Structure formats: structure tokens, C-alpha cells
Chain A
Amino acid sequence: MNSLPNRILKHREIWLAAAIALLVGLIAMRFPAFARLGNLLTVFNDTSILIILALGQMVVILTRSIDLSMASNLAFTGMLVAMTNAAFPAIPVPVLILTAMFVGAALGAFNGILVWKLGIPPIVVTLGTLTVFRGATFVLSGGAWVNADRMSPAFIALQRSAFLGLPILSWFAICAIALFYVIMTRTPFGRSVYAVGVNPTASVYAGIDVGRTKFLAFCISGLVAGLCGYLWVSRYVIASTEVANGYELSIIAACVIGGVSIAGGLGSVAGAVLGALFLGIIGSALPVVNVSPFWQMAISGGAIILAVVLNARGERRQGRIILKKAAAA
């Protein structure tokens, strides 16, 4: 059943999936091993964090907002849990994960409150908190790093553990995809997000609290940023003030490539996931086939512009059905 994502968008996602398949095919021509299942799963695992972040960002963008602070939020919560782990190795990892999610959501809520209660444009709020959270990371750590040798084995076990043949990190992404799909298509909140993005005024009349919906969207993007703070630090086994610096742009790029409209109200979980995968494949495959990093950037950039052009075409409003004959047809 298609909820908001109308047929155009459906098509658009199919097109994106086809483009990804083509890309994989092209790479496989030069480097056949790339297309093997095992390798593709590795690529998926490598992209897991981006996928989760893109899903959070998507919810925010759908409400006609944007969250530029996600990467800084990630760095702060990552540092916080890494330092906590270093200081108190006895605290179980699941508690740390919940802490990361809670702290991330709290930072997101701070963005959300400013947007909701003070009516400051989201781009301004999060441009500010992007710097604030990054600065707080520095204050928290005093600029120091937390290295692998200071982390407990359980803390960094994430990379090495697997479940049903898939790395735990991949399972986080899979669960996030499923959860976001249900939230966006099957809950009153998800529906409100779309309604607010498409027509905020009519949403107010329908009894939807637009400000509160945006607030919750920011809480969600904060929560996933917090979760990814732990995932990132545990995967790359380092927490520093430079973690994920500038990564907010990749997150937004994944959404845009995936057909999430910056104007709000249009986009889907499948799109955001595919957009993230597209970037993930470019990032992991092109170095293998000896494409320079410069070209990687050019290709990602080209994909963003192409996606926006295609989206703009898709969003162009169709004429009304005026002739009764046409309506009957």
C-alpha cells in the first residue's frame, strides 16, 4: 500500500535502485569480486551508520526542517560514552547505548524546543548547535582522544560480533529501517509528519500540533545521532573531537539523492536508505577500481544535482482533471 509516496516517487525509488545496480555492474566489470554477496554485505555494513542517520534526517526534512547538528551530536555522545566506558568499564554496554540514545535525544530536543517554542528557523538553530555540540565535545574531553586501549573489550566487540551471519552493526541498520518504515507509514505520528510537511496550515486545522511534530522529529534525529555516536566510536575504535566532522552534509546528501524533498512532505524510508547506499557504494568501490577521491566527490556531487533535477520534475504539479471524459477514463 502506498501511503504518501505516490507513484512518481515509487518510480523514482525504482530508478535509484536501478542506478545502484548499474553502478555495481560497472564496478564489477573491472573488479568482479565487488559484486559478490559477501562484499556487498560488507558495503552494507560499512554504510549502516549513514543509513541510520539518513533515516533520522529524513523525518526532520519531511517536516520542512533540517538538522545540521547531527554529526556534532554524534561526536559529543560518542565522546561521552567512550569516556564513561574508559572511566567505568564495569558499566554494561547496553546501558551505554541507552545513555547515548538518551543524551542524543536530549540534544535533539534542545534543537526542537528552540524551533517549537521560539520559532527560530531550523537551519539557524542547528547551524548554531552544530558548533555548540562540537565545542562541547572539546570541553568534555579537553581535546584529548579516547583510544582503543582505553575502551573495554565489550565496548568494541560490535565489529567482531555477528548474528545469523550478519555483523551486529548491520542488524542495527536493519532494525532501524524496519522501525522507521512502520513509524512513517503506520503511525499517526508518521502521518502527521507528512501532513505538516505538505500543508502546515491545514494540519493545524486538523488538530495536528505542527510545532510539536517538528519537536518530535528533532528528538528522533537526535536520538539516532546519539545511537550512531556509540556505533561510530565502537566501530572505528576512536573518540575524538574530529569524529564525523562535516558528515552532516553526507547525511543530507543521502536524503536528497534518495528523493526526500527539501521542501518537505515528500520522501520515503526506501528512498533515504537507497540514497545512503548509493553514497556508500561510491565511497567503498571507487577507491578499489582506482578512481581518485576527487572523482568520488564529483560523482557524489553530480548525483545530488541529478537527484534534485529529477525530483523537481517529479514534483511538478500535474494539470487538473477538468474534462469529465478524462476523469471517467
Chain B
Amino acid sequence: MMHTTIRREQLPEETRQASPRFSLSGISKSFPGVRALNKVALSLYPGQVTALIGENGAGKSTLVKIMTGIYQPDEGEIAIDGEGVSLPAAHSAFVHGISAIHQETVLFDDLSVAENIFLGHAPRTRFGLIDWSRMRRDAREVLEAMGASHIDPDTRLRELGIANKHLVAVGRAMSIDARIVIMDEPTAALSAKEIEELFLLIEFLKSQDKAILFISHKFDEIYRIADRYTVFRDGEMVGEGMLAGTSQNEIVKMMVGRAVDHIFPERHPTIGAPLLSVSTLSHPTEFDDISFELRKGEILGFYGLVGAGRSELMQAIAGMTRTSKGTISLDGKAIASRSAADTVAAGIAYVPEERGRQGVVIGLPIFQNVSLPSLKRTSEFGVLKLASEFQLARRYTERLDLRASSLSQDVGTLSGGNQQKVVIAKWLATRPKVIILDEPTKGIDIGSKAAVHGFMAELVAEGLSVIMVSSELPEILGMSDRVVVMREGRIVSIRENKGLDAETLVRLAAGIAA
């Protein structure tokens, strides 16, 4: 039943015999013209965390959708405790005790915590009506058992932060007595402290003998929390085993089919005079008294916990939101930033964080995505010149090594990494002096990450200035010339990136005294 390439000899004796709680074998799934999964296998064991590792587009999400009954596999078997089952709908996954916690939780913002936990299986009164008092009581019990008694069951979910929403999702899993818990990039939107809390929760789930699937792009998290690993590459399962005794490099090799030894490009920055200066910039609710300078040829990293106001500040600099006070000037000239178009014209490009919602225009071909903010330049007397649009798109996508069969291809058909390249190409095509990259490598595969980093280094070498908002410490430390740390809407520190270490940054961001 198992794949032949599995490095079974590495499995300790006792786990080889332990029978999996949940197993998938020979699962294939095709979409029109695309084979997303090719005879993959996956096993989850009670009381253990299995990490599913793979680059973006490796087929992880498809697998999760099959496990939760959203997609039907074309072939293959699903077994729970050795018995074959089929999961024809999301409800059947629920019945079999499979519960999923997604990156952005799929709960109901306008229902209370208790309702979210018990939706679909609320306790009933004798008359078949919902027994509200019991539901509240049970919800409180569930939350207390998880050490989340700070969450009031009557709170509307909307009022909770993402970390607490995860807790509610876990509470829901507990309440349906889920035996299999899937966590699909649960840490993507969490701060370091919240991740710690999540890990405690996962330990709790392990102690409850749940079989857990943990999907993450971050190796430190995987090594912290997981017992086993399964690696996917291009829709195929390429390896599995125990994490203990398997090095990070070995896994990376499996993922990419080659070893990636160093991700960050070497740079020899030549930093010039101040280019962009922001002075006492304030917003009524989002940030206050922000002053900093960005110099020519510099990469300025912005670090902070999620919710520190970094993206909000960048949106204001990009002219998306109005500020209450303060000035922004570029090359000594004040920018009366009234709209995104004005800012682009002034020479500031903002590559937003949410690629799907704010970045790409799915449905438009690649070349039209690239030319979208530059239409004035690609038209003459108000008429678009397709040739110059193509030229523009080709010039910038080639530099970014975009992989697409044609520039007329719909961007929706590209992988996340390639979509991000299109978004960056789009902003470079506006010929900015300053480019703001908000979480430029969030959720993209290692190969694309390296391409984006290498490209950033090239840009500053050419004299562009870059502001990079990132929540990933290695990226901040690996790329920045200086680092700005923000906390609760204010700048708490601006430091040269010399001898700066991760702990210092985390302490500053979290407001912990040294």
C-alpha cells in the first residue's frame, strides 16, 4: 500500500507497527488538462503531528480539499482506522471526525463563539429547539479544556483576532470530537507570541490522541512541532518518515529536487542621499507620529508583529488612505498624495500584501495586468498601443524570469510565485524611484522567493530604493540595510542591520525589555 520510494528503513520499529488513524493511498486528482495529484499517499497517526511539506503548487491544498470532502479523488483509497471510507461531501468528513483549520479561518464572523463551535450540532431541548444555555455552558467547557477560558462564548467572532479565531476553530474540532485535525498554514497570519500559543494548543491536541496534519512553509515551526513529515513535489509524494534524524537540507532536497544552500543574495550596497522622507505622519486610528528616511539604493526593512500598523502605514504612503497629519516628500518635493494614481505618478509603487485580492486581476491576461498602472504611457492620444503594452510586459516579466507560455495567458492560470512576479513586474513597469514590497514572499515557494530576493538586490544596485515589509525574520535580516521596528502603530526603533540579531528584533517588536 505504501509508496516504494519511502525511506522506510529510517522508521523506528514501534512506529512502523503502529497503525495509522487515517491513511490515503494511490490518490490521484486531475483538473481539466492538469494532474494535480498523482497516486499520492499520506498517513496520520494518533497522538502525532505529521507535517505536509512542499513548494507552492505541489498539491497540498488539493489534498486538504480531498480530505475534507470538498473534492473527490479520481482514484485511490481513504481509510480511517484501517476501514475504507468515502468522503462524498464536506458533511461526511465532519461525520468521520475530520476537522480542518485553515489559514484564514472559515468560520462565521457574525455568529457568537458558541454558535461557531456548535454550528450543525448544537445541543437541543426536548422540543427540538436549540438549547442556548447548554450550548454556552458546553462552549465554555470546551474552551476551558483548551486553556482558552479568556474567550467569552457570547462574543461575536468578528471581534476576535485571528489567533483567537484559531482557538475557536480548534474548539469546534474538539466539540465534534474530531479525531483528525488538519491545520492548513495556521501560523501564516499569526505573530510570534500567538504562534507559541498555537503550539501549546497543538501539544494539547496531541495529548488528546488526535492525529494532526500540519501544513506550513516554515521549517523552524515544522521542526518545533511535528513528529513526522511527508513531502510532496509537483503533485507526487516524494518522501516520508520521522523528522528526528532527518536534516533540514535533506527535506529541502526532496522538496525542490536539489539542494538550496543559500537563499539570500550577497550585496554590496552603495547608499546615497535621502530620497523619501516621512515626517510625523499620523492617522486617527492606525498609526501615529511616523518619521523615517529612505535613502537612495537602500533596502529598508519594516519589522513588527502582525497588526503593528506596517501595512496601514504603507497604504497611506501609497495614497490609499488619508492621513490626519504629517508630510511625505520624495526628492525634497512634498507629495500631496490624494490618490494611488498620484503616488504612482510621483514615483512610489506599492506592491500590496494580498496578492489575490489586491494584486493580480484574474481574468485579464498577463500583459494587461502588467500595463494596468501604466496605461497612460502605453497609449497615444488616448488610444492604447498593444505593441508597446506587450513590449512593456515582456521587458519586465523577462527580467523576473516569469514562467508562462504566453503573455496573453490569463494570470489566474499561473502559480502563486509566478503571479507575484507579474505583480512586481506591474509595479516596476511604472518606473518607480521607491518600491514598497509588502510581504513580498508570503506564501510563495522557495524557488520564487530566491528569485524575488535576487531581484530586489538588483533593483537597489541600480539605484532604486526599496521598503520591504516582512514578518519573516530571516528575510528582514538577510535583505535589509536598516530595519525599522514598529509596535502598536508607532516606530519603536530604527537600526543599522549590522550585528543585529533576531532576538533583539522580536524583543523590540513585542515590547519586552532587554
Q: Determine if B36 and A322 form an interchain contact, defined as CB atoms under 8 angstroms apart.
A: yes
B335 at the A/B interface (Cβ < 8 Å)?
no
Interface residues of B in 373-399 (CB under 8 A from A): 373, 375-376, 379, 382-384, 386
A320 and B344 contact, Cβ closer than 8 Å, known pairs A182-B383, A187-B384, A205-B352:
no
Contact pattern, B 400-440, Cβ under 8 Å of A = 1, otherwise 0: 00010100101011110000000000100000000000000
Within the complex, the shortest CB–CB distance from B416 to chain A, in Å, comes to: 9
- The CA-CA distance from A256 to B462 in the complex, in Å, is 50
B338 nearest CB across to chain A (Å): 11
Q: Is the CB of A201 within 8 A of B32?
A: no
Cβ-defined contact, A198 with B364, below 8 A: yes
B413 touches A191 (CB 8 A): no
- Max chain B CB contacts within 10 Å: which of A6, A191, A195, A322? A322
Q: Within the complex, what minimum Cβ distance (angstroms) separates B307 from chain A? A: 20
Q: Which of A208-232 contact B (CB under 8 A)?
A: 208-209
Nearest residue in A to B381 (C-beta to C-beta)? Answer: A187
Is A201 in contact with B357, judged by CB distance below 8 angstroms? yes
In the bound assembly, the distance between CA atoms of A323 and B403 in angstroms comes to 13
The contact of A319 among B34, B343, B365, B410, by CB within 8 Å, is: B34
Please give, as numbers and ranges, the residues of chain B lying within 8 Å of A160 by CB-CB distance: none
Q: Which of A3, A186, A198 is in CB contact (< 8 Å) with B362?
A: A198
Q: Is A206 interfacial (CB-CB < 8 Å)? A: yes
A89 to chain B, nearest CB (A): 38
Q: Interface code B257-270, partner A: CB below 8 Å = 1, 0 otherwise?
A: 00000000000000
Q: Does A290 contact B (CB under 8 A)?
A: no
**Would you call B127 an interface residue if the criterion is a C-beta within 8 Å of the partner chain's C-beta atoms?**
no
Q: Which residues of A contact B341 (CB under 8 A)?
A: 207-209
Q: Is A194 close to B, CB under 8 A? A: yes
Count of A interface residues, CB-CB < 8 Å: 39
> CA separation between A190 and B378, bound complex, in Å?
14
A323-B357 CB under 8 A given contacts A182-B383, A206-B340, A207-B344:
no
Beyond A182-B383, A188-B382, A323-B36, is A202–B235 a contact (Cβ under 8 Å)? no
Question: Are A205 and B320 in contact (CB-based, < 8 A)?
Answer: yes
Given known A-B contacts A4-B368, A205-B350, A205-B358, A187 and B31 have beta carbons under 8 A apart: no
Q: How far is the CA of A317 from the CA of B412 in the complex (A)?
A: 9
Interface flags for B18-43 (1: CB within 8 Å of A; 0: not) read 00000000000011111110100000
A72 to chain B, nearest CB (A): 31
Q: How far is the CB of B54 from chain A (nearest CB, A)?
A: 11
Chain B residues contacting A195 (CB-CB under 8 Å) are 361, 364, 368, 372
* Given A204-B340, A327-B405: A320 touches B31 (CB 8 Å cut-off): yes
Asked if A161 lies at the interface with its beta carbon under 8 angstroms from chain B, I say no
Say yes or no: is B241 at the interface (Cβ < 8 Å to chain A): no
The reply to whether the CB of B363 lies closer than 8 angstroms to some CB of chain A is yes
**Measured between alpha carbons, how far is A104 from B426 in the docked complex, in Å?**
37
Chain A residue contacts of B235, Cβ below 8 A: 322-323
For chain B, residues 473 to 499, give those with C-beta under 8 angstroms from any C-beta of chain A.
none
Known: A199-B357, A199-B361, A321-B415. A206 touches B379 (CB 8 A): no
B363 touches A265 (CB 8 A): yes
Say yes or no for A111: interface residue by CB 8 A criterion: no
Which residues between 277 and 329 of chain A lie within 8 Å of chain B, taking CB atoms? 317-327
Complex CA gap A322/B59 in Å reads 7
Q: Provide the bound-state CA to CA distance between A208 and B339, in Å.
A: 9
Q: How many residues of B contact A (CB 8 A)?
A: 53
Q: Which of A182, A198, A319 has the most CB of B within 10 A?
A: A319
Interface bits B44-59 vs A (CB < 8 Å: 1, else 0): 0000000000000111
- List of B residues within 8 angstroms of A52 by Cβ: none
Query: When A4-B363, A6-B410 are in contact, do A322 and B57 touch as well, CB less than 8 Å?
Result: yes
B499 to chain A, nearest CB (A): 37
Q: Which residues of B contact A319 (CB under 8 A)?
A: 30-34, 36
Asked if B234 is at the interface (CB within 8 A of a chain A CB), the reply is yes
Query: A251–B34 Cα gap in the complex (Å)?
Result: 39
Nearest chain B CB to A267 CB, angstrom units: 11
In the assembled complex, the Cα of A185 lies from the Cα of B379 at a distance in Å of 12
Residue A100 at the chain B interface, CB threshold 8 Å: no
Residues of B within 8 A of A187 (CB): 379, 382-384
Q: Is A238 an interface residue (CB 8 A)?
A: no
When distances are taken between beta carbons in the complex, the residues of chain B under 8 Å from A204 are 320, 340, 358
CA of A189 to CA of B10 in the docked complex: distance in angstroms?
Answer: 62
A194, B31: Cα distance in complex, Å:
27
Q: Across the interface, do A318 and B373 meet the contact criterion of CB distance under 8 Å?
A: no
Contacts of A190 in B (CB 8 A): 384
Q: Is B190 an interface residue (CB 8 A)?
A: no
Q: How far is the CB of B138 from chain A (nearest CB, A)?
A: 39
Assess whether B168 is interfacial by the CB under 8 Å rule: no
Contact, CB under 8 Å: B364 / A320: no
> Which of B59, B350, B352, B384 has most chain A Cβ within 10 Å?
B384
How many angstroms between the C-alpha atoms of A265 and B361 in the bound complex?
10
- A318/B31 in contact, CB under 8 A: yes
Contact call B320/A191, Cβ cutoff below 8 A: no
- B364 close to A4 (CB less than 8 A): yes
Q: In the assembled complex, how far is the CB of residue A212 from the closest CB belonging to chain B, in whole angstroms?
A: 10
Question: Are A322 and B372 in contact, with the CB atoms below 8 A?
Answer: no
Q: Are B373 and A206 neighbours in the complex by a CB distance under 8 Å?
A: yes
Distance to closest chain B CB from A101 (angstroms): 19
CB distance A202 to B408 under 8 Å?
Answer: no
Provide the bound-state CA to CA distance between A35 and B142, in Å: 75
B 297-325 binary contact with A (CB < 8 Å = 1; else 0): 00000000000000000000010100000
A192 within 8 A of B: yes
The verdict on A43 contacting chain B, using a C-beta distance below 8 Å, is: no
* CB-defined contacts of B371 to chain A, threshold 8 Å: 191
Interface: B359 (CB within 8 A): yes
Bound together, the chains give a CA A39 to CA B257 distance in angstroms of 68
A265 to B384 alpha-carbon distance, docked (Å):
19
The one of A1, A185, A198, A326 in contact with B363, judged by C-beta atoms closer than 8 angstroms, is A198
**Chain B residue nearest in CB terms to A203:** B361
- B360 CB–A CB distance under 8 Å: yes
- Measured between beta carbons, the chain A residues less than 8 angstroms from B384 are 185-188, 190-191
Q: In residues 109-150 of chain A, which contact B (Cβ within 8 Å)?
A: none
Query: With A202-B361, A207-B341 in contact, do A188 and B379 touch (Cβ < 8 Å)?
Result: yes
- The answer for the CA separation of A265 and B62 in the assembled complex, in Å, is 28
Q: Is the CB of A320 within 8 A of B32?
A: no
Instruction: Chain A residues near B352: list those with CB within 8 A.
Output: 205
Q: By the criterion CB–CB under 8 Å, are B34 and A320 in contact?
A: yes
Contact partner of B357 (CB less than 8 A), chosen from A202, A322, A326, is A202
Residues of B that sit less than 8 Å from A by CB: 30-36, 38, 57-59, 62, 234-235, 318, 320, 339-341, 343-345, 350, 352, 357-365, 368, 371-373, 375-376, 379, 382-384, 386, 403, 405, 408, 410, 412-415, 426
What are 25 A-B contacts with C-beta separation under 8 Å?
A186-B384, A186-B386, A187-B383, A190-B384, A198-B364, A199-B361, A201-B357, A204-B320, A205-B320, A206-B361, A207-B340, A208-B372, A265-B363, A318-B32, A320-B36, A321-B415, A322-B35, A322-B36, A322-B57, A322-B59, A322-B415, A323-B36, A323-B38, A324-B234, A326-B34
Contacts A6-B410, A322-B34 known; 12 new A-B pairs at CB < 8 A? A188-B375, A198-B362, A202-B360, A205-B352, A205-B359, A206-B340, A208-B341, A319-B30, A320-B31, A322-B58, A322-B415, A327-B403
Going nearest first, the 6 A-B pairs with the smallest beta carbon separation are A319-B31, A207-B341, A188-B375, A198-B363, A207-B340, A206-B373
